[in-house]
Amino acid sequence: MDCLDLIRAFNVDGAINIHGFSHVTGGGLAADAAALRRALDEVDSAIVVGHSYGGTVIAEAGHHPAVAHLLYISSYLPDIGQSQGEIMSGEGDPVSIGDNGDGTLSVSGYDAASFGARFLQDADESTQQQAWARVTAQASGAFMSPTSAAGWEGVDSTYIICGQDRSTSVELQRFHANRATRSVELPTGHHPFISRPDLVVEQVQALLHRG
């Protein structure tokens, strides 16, 4: 079961038509943004959800006519010219990232237990282990490439602050939340769509009812 399956399980009335893509672009920020734009080209209207680095992808993708709303989850609304690495550079206890020497980066120094304790402390051990098994390397360009657009500017947006996040500090989240139209704080770790998908669905449904 992946995070979209968990969200679907709580989408009991079928009000949310969920689209996602899980393929690896392998090309860093520009390729990830292009993949998002292609997905948006296939729909008339969408609430785009960006988690963590996903917010930087939203920025780089620029404005798209299909975007009705942006929903950020412990994420970033960067200025033009900022890279993901720069955004995270001021964190007091940064996640350890290692260079694999092949153009990719990976979280470094973690095992299933320590990864779970940092990223999914509010989930059970089985869920933590499943999440650890899905951790993969990421193109270095995802972290090092500066953004060339700010797709969040002028777009109605909601920011979910994860109040118990041990990966992205609450202070950094609040800085970026101040750039969104509105924000709400949930008592969760970094991945509420895994540990508390019901709370995430509530927020999405509220957006739908708001119209």
Q: What is the pTM of this model?
A: 0.91
Distance from C-alpha of 152 to C-alpha of 50, rounded to nearest angstrom:
11
Domain edges within the chain: 3-92+140-210
pLDDT digits (tens, 9 = 90+) for 36-69: 999 999 999 999 999 999 999 999 999 999 999 9
Name the residue type at position 132.
Answer: W
**Looking at the domain covering 3-92+140-210, what would its CATH class be?**
alpha beta
Residues of the chain with pLDDT under 50: 1, 12
Burial 166-189 (b: 16+ CB within 10 A, else e): bbbbbebbeebbebbeebeebebb
Distance from C-alpha of 40 to C-alpha of 48, rounded to nearest angstrom:
9
